[in-house]
Structure formats: C-alpha cells, structure tokens
Amino acid sequence: MSRLSVRGLTKHYGGIAALSGAGFEIDAPGIYGLIGPNGAGKTTLFDILSGSVPPDRGQVLLDGRDVTGFAAHRMARLGMARTFQECRILPEETCLENVLFAAQQKGMRATLVQLASRSQAARRAKQDEAMRLLALVRLEAYAHAPAEALSFGQRRLLEIVSTFIGVPDVLLLDEPASGVNPALLVTLSEFIRTMYAERPRVFMVVEHNMEFIMSLAGDIIVMHQGAVLERGTPEAVQASRLVIEAYLG
C-alpha cells in the first residue's frame, strides 16, 4: 500500500491548466524532491495535497484512504503539514511562542481537549522540545525575542521548525531554500536530515535551488506543464534528455 498516492490530478484556473493529470506513488519514507520550471504545477499540487484547494478531477490517497478534497484542518489531523513560498510566522510573538503555537491543535474541540488535559509536565515537555528544535537551527539565542527581529533567512528557519514541532507524517516544504543565505542553507539541510533520521517519514520538497535539492533528496520527481515528466535518482534526472529540454526549451 502506498503511503501517498496521487492519481490523475487536474486543476484549472479559468482557461489555464495548472495540473493536467499529475500522478505518482510514494511507497516508503524518504526525502523526495519536486522540481520543474516555473508554472509546472508544483505549488498547485501542494495546495491540493494539503487541502487548501480541491482538484477538478483525480484522487489523493493517504495510506489507502481517499482524502480527495479534504479541507486543510482535516488533512492536518491526518498528519499532513506544509510550509509556503511566502514566510508565515507571527512577527510580534517570540520565536518560542511561534513554535509553541504551531504545536497546538487547532479548532474549538481540540482546544477544549487541551484545556481538560493540560498539565505542567506536558507544557514543560513541549517547551523543552521547542527549545531543542530552535537550537538545531541556531535560533536558541532568539527564543524570547520577537520573530520580527530575525533576518528573512532566520524567519524561514523558524517557520520550518514550527512545522516540525507537530511531528507530521507527511511534510510538504515549498521552496524552503528561497531567500536563505549559503551559511543558513547548511543549517537548514542539516536540520532536515536530523529530523528525518530521528523519525523517518515522507518529506516532499519543492525547490528551484538545484544544488540544494540534489544533495538533499534521494528521489526526484520532475513536473512540466502540469504533469509528471520524469522521476529517478538525482543523477538520472540530471542526465535525462526530457528534463534538460523542459528546462532549456
């Protein structure tokens, strides 16, 4: 049974086809790269997988369960999490508060459960984990500083850390390297590898930084014109005539 199955996804915005029958199977934990020229449909695919928008046609299965069209909060409860191209943090809150907020389940019912089960030990454990994650991306010194004090690259790291605190089963990272300087890119790469080593699961990374994604992912999915064009190891994908033509043509 596939962990994540994408079957014939199609999505139109007016007369523009963002996805045209995109499909693939992910059968095991791993770090998967999702690449392609601008307009290939990568972010639209993430929008559908995370429940932000429904597809026009096609299916999404998670552990064999049809979750097509599920809203974002339902997908989150099933273990699906994502980041976005534009950095989404709470700038006026501290870095620690940003991470702890992300750790909370959202919705009235979840809030009531958390209030009923709240304990000092549980809060301390969650705070300790948040501090550990901040330290892994060299942000522990900013734990009690407002997030607006961070550089753009540091804000990106904070957003990614906040996504990991929820321990997702499927994590979608949309251009995590965008706007991040080379020194922080090393930190980001090390952090993703550490998280995967601690708890192997499905990480899917949309990225235009080819050096970054080819060194990070072991399986690369290439999209072009709304469909999957090629898939393979980084070496095989970089040598593919179809991929070269898609990027150069």
Q: Which amino acid is at 168?
A: P
Q: Pick the more confident residue, 82 or 109.
A: 82
Q: Quick one: average pLDDT of 171-184?
A: 94
Long-range CB pairs of 180-188, under 8 A, 24+ apart, other chains included: 180/152, 180/153, 180/156, 181/153, 184/153, 184/154, 184/156, 184/157, 185/209, 185/212, 187/137, 187/138, 187/157, 188/137, 188/156, 188/157, 188/160
Confidence of residue 113 (pLDDT cuts 50, 70, 90): very low
Checking if the pLDDT of 112 tops 60, the result is no
Least confident of 97-106, 158-167, 171-180, 239-248: 97-106
User: Is pLDDT above 70 for 106?
Assistant: no
Whether the CB-CB separation of 10 and 19 falls below 8 Å is answered with yes
Residue in the structure block whose two tokens are 């699906």: 80
Q: What is the pLDDT of residue 121?
A: 77
Mean pLDDT of 174-181: 93
Residue type, 139: L
Using one digit for the tens of pLDDT, what is the confidence trace for 204-226?
Answer: 999 999 999 999 999 999 999 99
Query: Which pLDDT tens digit goes with each residue over 16-74?
Result: 999 999 999 999 999 999 999 999 999 999 999 999 999 999 999 999 999 999 999 99
Q: What is the structure's pLDDT at 249?
A: 62
Segment 188-197 shows an average pLDDT of 96
Phi first, then psi: what are they for 179, rounded to 5°?
Answer: 75, 10
Residue position matching structure tokens 């753009």: 152
In whole angstroms, give the CA distance from residue 230 to residue 173.
Answer: 20
Residue 23: its pLDDT value, please? 98
If one counts every other C-beta atom within 10 angstroms of the C-beta of residue 181, the result is 13
- Among 183, 186, 187, 163, smallest CA distance to 174 is for 163
The domain limits of the chain are: 4-248
pLDDT of 147: 97
- Give the chain's length: 249
Task: Output the pLDDT for position 59.
Answer: 98
What average pLDDT does the structure give for the chain?
91
Average pLDDT, stretch 108-135? 72
> Using 50, 70 and 90 to split pLDDT, how confident is the model at 166?
confident
Q: What are the residue ranges of helices labelled H in 104-201?
A: 108-117, 120-136, 152-164, 182-198
Amino acid at 205: V
Q: How many CA atoms lie within 13 A of 227 on its CB side?
A: 5
Which residue, 14, 81, 16, is CA-closest to 46?
A: 81
pLDDT bucket at 111, cuts 50 / 70 / 90: very low
| pLDDT in the model for residue 179 | 87
Q: Which CATH class is domain 4-248?
A: alpha beta
One-letter identity of residue 130: A
